[in-house]
Amino acid sequence: MSVSGRQFDDPALNTKLLTASKDVRQVGQETVGGVRTTHYEGTYSMTDALAKLSGDQRAQAQKSFGEAGFDKLNFDVWVDGRQLPRRVTVATPSGAKAAMKVTIDYTAFNVPVSVTVPPKSQVTDGADMLGGGGQNTPG
């Protein structure tokens, strides 16, 4: 989930955003969900990250991140031996206008999934939480 509920739930999009980093560094080896991984951390500017996206993706991300006032994000990513992400954490740096931290764990790849949408009473749009008046509330 992201500010709009769309940015951080797509592994391919996450990868594009993370590749905008100019300071990524290896932290060490860790086990995530029983899988041995290499842990990396870094930061990326929203300007550099948005430049990596296609027109539609860029417009949506720009709207979401712009409303929240994000100009830079910190990240950690844990990558397994097949070069697949097992965990991605993205957070605002200290002192940012709004605080956000999103952690996504990937437990399987290329397998069918079944998703049950929670009742609207259990869902909050991240943009609404940050005062952005988001439009993507499921339900």
Specify the higher pLDDT residue, 1 or 29.
29
Q: What is the DSSP letter of 7?
A: S
Instruction: Compute the distance between CA of residue 15 and CA of residue 35 in angstroms, rounded to an integer.
Output: 20
In whole angstroms, what is the distance from residue 83 CA to residue 85 CA? 7
What does the alpha-carbon distance between residue 106 and residue 87 come to, in Å, rounded to a whole number? Answer: 6
pLDDT band of 9, cuts 50, 70, 90: low
pLDDT digit string (tens) for 34-68?
Answer: 999 999 999 998 888 888 888 887 887 777 666 66
Q: Kindly provide the residue ranges of all beta strands, DSSP E only, lying in the chain, ordered along the sequence.
A: 25-32, 35-45, 72-80, 85-91, 101-105
In this prediction the pTM is: 0.72
pLDDT band at 135 (very low <50, low <70, confident <90, very high): very low
Q: What are residue 81's phi and psi, to 5 degrees?
A: -65, -20
Report the alpha-carbon distance of residue 62 to residue 120 in Å, rounded: 26
